[in-house]
Structures are given as C-alpha cells and as structure tokens.
Amino acid sequence: MRLRFSFKRIAKHRLFAALFTCFTCVAHAQVYDVTAFGAKGDGMTDNTTSIQQAIDQCAVTGGKVYFPSGIFLSGTLYLKSHVTLHLTEKATLLGQTDVSKYPHLSSGIPFFGEEWAKQALIFCKNAEYVSIEGNGTIDGQGASFVIKTNKKPERYKNRPYLLWFAGSKNITIKGVHLRNSAFWMQHYLGCENLLIDGISIWNHSNKNNDMIDIDGCKNVIVSNVNGESDDDGVTLKSTSRLITENVSITNCVLSSHCNAIKMGTESTGGFRNITISNCVIKPSSQLATIYGLPAGTSGISLEVVDGGIMENVAISNIAMDGPEVPLFIRLGNRARKHTDTAATPAPGIIRNIQLSNITAINAGITSSSITGVSYAQVKDVTLSNIAITTKGGGTAKDMDIKVEELENEYPEATMFGKLPSYGLYVRHVNGLHVSGISLRYNGNEQRFPVVLSSVKQFSFSGLNVQSDKNTTAVISLNNSSNGFITNTIHHYPAKSFIRKDAQSVNIVTTNNYTPAIKTR
C-alpha cells in the first residue's frame, strides 16, 4: 500500500511539474525579444526582417514584442492583431532614411490623400487589440526625406508616417516618445476604440508635421499628451465618408506653429459628439518655423469647408498663451471631393457648439472670429467665461476694413487678415449666446471690441471689454437682428456703446452700466 501510494504521489508531482513547465513555457513564449530573432540595437543594422519575424510569431499566440536597450534601425513594420510592441526606456526604434525601405501601402478606405499617403514606419490594417507601449522612443528621422518640388501632389509623396492605423479596433498607444516623422506623426483612419495616453511628441523635422490625426474614427480617448509640432497639433479630420465621433480629449499640454487644437480642414464625413477639456496651449520651444508662426496661428480652430456636419462639440477649461488667433470657427464652401469619383459635397453644417472657461493671453492683431456664408450659417454657438488679451495694434481706420467672404478658400484663422474688431468678429451666424466674455489689449487699440454682421438671434450678458476714446462703438451691428444685450459694466471710453445700421432691428439693451460713454 505504501509503495502504491508513493507511486501515486510521484505521478501527481510529475504531472504538476509538467503542467507548470508547460504553463511557464507558454507564458514565456508570449514575450518575444527582438534580439532573439537576430535584431541588433547598434543603430546600423537593418532589423526590418528580424523585428517582423518577432511580430509574426507573437501574432500566433498573442503577447508582446520586446525591445531591450539599443537603437533598432528598421523599415516598414506590419503590426498585427493581439500584438503589443513594448519599448523599454532606453530602446529606440529608428526609421530608415532610404525611402525604398517603405513599400507602398493601401488602407482599404477611400480617402483624400490616398494618392500620395502610402508609406509608414509602423502600419496596422484591419487588426484588433494592438498596442504600442513603454517609455522608449520611435524616431522617423524625418528631416532626411528631402522635398524636391513644391508641386502638388508630388511634394507629399515618399514621406512616410511614423504610425498609420487603418480600419482597426481596440488600439492603445501609451507612454512612448514619438519623434521626427517625415509627414504626419500618426494617422488613425476609420478606427474604433482608440486610446492614446501619456505619450510625448516632437515633430519639427519636415513639412506637414502634424502631431496627431484622428480621421473618421469613433470612440476615442486622447489624454495626458505632451506634444510639440510644426504643423497642426491634436487634429480631428474626416477625409473619407466616415464621421469622426464620440471623442474625448483631455489633460494635454500642446504647442503648434499652426493650429494647436483643430477640426478640419477636411470634413467630408463630419464630426459629432466631441469633448475637449483641461488643456494648455503654449508657445513652442522650437522658434524656427516651417509653417505657421512661432507661437502658433490659432489655439482652437473648428472648420467645415468640404461638406459634412459638425455638431455637439463642447470645449472647456483651456489656457492658451501666444497663438495669433485664440478662437476660429469657419463654415465655408471649398467643396473639395474626397475622391475623384465622389459627388461634389453640398455646403456643410456647424451647430450646437459650446466653448467655456477659456483664457488666452498674448494673442495677435487678427481677432477671433466665427463665420459662415450667406447661404450656410453657423447655428447655435455658446461662448461663456471667455477671457482674451491681445497685443493690440489696431487703428481707428481699421474699423472700416471690408472683410471679404472668401467662401471657397482654404480655412485658416488668419485668412481674412486684420479684422475690424480686436476681440470677436461674427458673421452669418444664427443663434449666438455670449456670457461673461472679457476682452483686453496691451498697447494701443482703437478697433471695435465686437463686430456682428448678419447675425440673427443673439444675446450678450456680462460683457466686460476694453475700448479707446477713438473707438466708434463697443459693439458694431451690421444687418443683425433679434438681439439682447444686458448686464454690461463698461468703464472705458468710446464714442458710443452700440453702433447699428438701418438693417439691424429688434435690438434690446437693458441694465448696461457705461459711465465713460456719453452715447448709448
């Protein structure tokens, strides 16, 4: 009996040991060190094949492709389902400078730009549960891709993205440092369930150096990003028929020579259900510019010019220092088709936009603006608790500036040039609700603080603005109607409180305290 019992115990121990060994092997097999596949972190060896073999093996079981300390040179890598690229703190994935190392790719989604946007260092198509993580670096050596012509579309060709995800789901990009792309830093096209968290970005090495482009994606969280870019910063696009929707952007520190937070320029599918909060926009530490201005062209730009819809957008708790134009909302009608065979888009829609608790200092001379076109008005915009301080510089003569419609032009916050207002210019808007807005300037400024042109159904409450004795009026109204202006406390001189033309009717003013102004 004792002998049989002993054999049983031995058998059980052996079975347990075998199962444990098997489990350990499987667990170990889920981490694939790229050096085990022949990769060398010497910064010179082409590791494309070795790293891809690690990815392919990892895709069989699922797990992590592990980059230890070193500089791993590579061309295009194809990221696959259930694979995580893990870059340790002292690991760098370095992109090749030879464009032949980046084969042409297809996203499988017709979009504006597919004629030239065909290459990437990391490409992921129709995959799910994919991640890039760790405290390491991915560097595209973007300055090495020399642009030989300014002709379109040739000037965009042969410049790979750093990251390109298309038609994929459940994506996580976390903790990594992204550097020096030859084109956009990262393009997410037609993806779902995307998390970008805690990454840092430096993109000042070439033209079109966007920071993040989220394009026709849904269910997106972008948080804790610390980024600098020459071109646009955190950018929502719609270059295909897919709408960009259900997006939350929060707790970011951003610098852009162009537009720090932007929706557009492309708007084919549109934008819906977007929240942006708790972000800082500051001047870039990179003073030399390729595009834009050293401290940025705009802080927030919301643009629909190629059809599509923009609705249910809430932006709050933003502090910005330096962009020329703090706020820019533009509904135009460039009407560019997203593919050659697509129908020409009808004028787009912008409605239900809320901006609150925004402070901006060191803004330039241009002025913030909200503009539609006569046959396509921006609808229902709410501004609350907005404080803007500009550098000043406008003269009394500038109040007579005629602002061109430019309905077919590329949308840019400086597209109209210097405006007749220094604080807020609004045209072709139906439904404008402003409360608690403060406008100030440094130096000399004689333009109107606020100009409304062809604005219907508007209200101002708690207007607190600075003006000059040579300023014709605090608020200038042209062809605007059904307005209510109340609770203004104004201690600065101006020739009048309101100037309105004969076409401006049904304007009610009440409870406005303007002791320094003799004419209401």
3-class secondary structure for 354-407? EEEEEEEEEECCCCEEEECECCECEEEEEEEEEEEEECCCCCHHHHHCCCCCCC
Which pLDDT belongs to residue 519?
66
Give 520's pLDDT tier (boundaries 50, 70, 90): low
Give the distance from CA 450 to its chain's centroid. 28
Asked if the model's pLDDT at residue 198 lies above 90, the reply is yes
Asked if the model's pLDDT at residue 418 lies above 80, the reply is yes
Which pLDDT belongs to residue 8?
45
pTM (2 d.p.): 0.93
Which pLDDT belongs to residue 195?
98
Strands (E), 143-250: 161-166, 169-174, 177-179, 186-189, 192-197, 200-203, 212-215, 218-223, 226-229, 234-238, 244-250
Asked if the model's pLDDT at residue 141 lies above 90, the reply is yes
Average pLDDT over residues 108-119: 96
Give the residue with greater pLDDT, 4 vs 518. Answer: 518
- 481 neighbors 453 (Cβ within 8 angstroms): no
